[in-house]
Structure 1
Amino acid sequence: MAASTQRASCDDIVDTLKAMRSIDDKIIYELNLATPTQSFRGQVDPTSHCQGLYQQLNNTYEERGSLIGECLGQSQARLQELRKLATLKRDDPIALRNLRSEQSRIRELQNESTIEEIIRARSLKVFEEKCRKFYKPPR
């Protein structure tokens, strides 16, 4: 469940985020591996597994948040340029279409940011429920 280490372009951010969110999709499975039943506790150290899983979650959250923020910043800068261009070329349908397209892209990135918050909250809640006996993450 290693996170993607290569940096993606902002053009395919939705697909990249979907791939990067695989750890959150598999959180229950990972937590079940990290916190085995009492009969298997001697074979697995739940404290180190929970700590490792928390670190992995935290790293992917930072990476995804950084990617979304970076792409949002790029889109907002591009939007300002397109607004200036659209002001100069009021009757140019291509300039207006590009402006609307960039505005839609910004809304999409803002939605991804909201989705990220929801996924993070859900995963951390499940993590807390399963690992609270074994590992307390730093605040």
Structure 2
Amino acid sequence: MDAPTPLSCQDITDTLKAMRTIDDKIIYELNLATPTPSFRSAVDPRTHCEELYRQLNQTYSERGSLIKQCEDEARGRLKAMQGQMANKRDDPMFMKKLRSEQSRVRELQNEATIEEIIRERSLKVFEEKCRHFYKPPSKSE
């Protein structure tokens, strides 16, 4: 489940896609974690649910940090470019790069929103399947 570490934020979309495989496979993972009563003796649902929850939170933290880091970098570049805009307003290449950087910031904002939706959906499914076996610690703990 290790995602490739980007050398820069240029390939963040592919990196996030690789990091989101746990969410893509959550139903499968939950079905393994919460077997039917006839298979419960072979599998400990509490342990599986607890481990899955730990993995989910770890990947959420990693992805959130990556998105924030890349968004901060892009905003920094954009701010620097906006500071140069008065002198380079007539330079078409500069204006193209400025628009590109603005698009990059919007793309990263969209990734943050997508991340929030994915997290919500996965945790909802997790709660539905594991609620009888494992209760995650509250946010304040």
1:48-88: CA deviations, max 9, x gaps? 00000000000000000000000000000000111122221
Over aligned residues, Cα RMSD in angstroms? 0.8
The answer to whether the 8 Å contact 2:78/2:102 transfers is yes
Q: 1:53: which partner in 2?
A: 52
Q: Which runs of 5+ in 2 are unaligned?
A: none
- How many percent of aligned residue pairs carry the same amino acid? 66
Q: TM-score, normalised by structure 2?
A: 0.95
C-alpha distance in 2, partners of 1:88/1:64? Answer: 37
Count of paired positions: 137
1:7-27: CA deviations, max 9, x gaps? 322000001101110000000
The answer to whether the 8 Å contact 1:68/1:113 transfers is yes
Q: 2:131: which partner in 1?
A: 132
What is the identity, as a one-letter code, of the residue corresponding to 1:104? S
The answer to whether the 8 Å contact 1:34/1:50 transfers is yes
Q: Which runs of 5+ in 1 are unaligned?
A: none
Q: Equivalences for 1:75-94 in 2 at 5 Å?
A: 75-94=74-93
Runs of 4+ displaced beyond 4 Å: none
Q: TM-score, normalised by structure 1?
A: 0.96
